[in-house]
């Protein structure tokens, strides 16, 4: 098993650098980490193409308990999704 890849938690995540099979887990972990750093809005770049990655990203966002809302970024012509994040639960 390989070591986890550490990425900075910025306002935007470009998924082009990730293997498509890892997209769902990357999005889930990114949203959780973004919430923990106090980010309330993130932009996830998935690209255009056939819409497969867009579907995976939006399905992951739809299931994520911290995502309150998401939509296609109108400036990207279906190549990115913007998500609003609620507050992360306090650690126990």
pLDDT tens digits, residue range 40-88?
999 999 999 888 999 999 999 999 999 999 999 999 989 999 999 997 5
- Give just the sign of the alpha carbon dihedral 11, 25, 18, 75: negative
**Alpha carbon distance 84, 75 (integer Å):** 17
Mean pLDDT of 21-49: 95
Mean pLDDT of 22-47: 95
Q: Is residue 89 over pLDDT 70?
A: no
Q: Which pLDDT value is given to residue 1?
A: 65
**Alpha carbon distance 20, 10 (integer Å):** 21
Domains of the chain: 17-85 (3.30.1370.110)
Mean pLDDT of 26-34: 96
């Amino acid at each position: 098993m390989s070591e986890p890849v550490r990425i900075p938690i910025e306002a935007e995540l470009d998924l082009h650098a990730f293997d498509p099979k890892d997209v769902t887990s990357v999005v889930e972990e990114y949203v959780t980490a973004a919430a923990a750093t106090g980010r309330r809005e993130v932009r996830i770049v998935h690209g255009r193409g056939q819409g497969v990655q867009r579907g995976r990203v939006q399905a992951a966002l739809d299931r994520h308990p911290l995502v309150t809302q998401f939509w296609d970024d109108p400036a990207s012509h279906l190549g990115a999704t913007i998500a609003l994040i609620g507050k992360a639960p306090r650690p126990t």
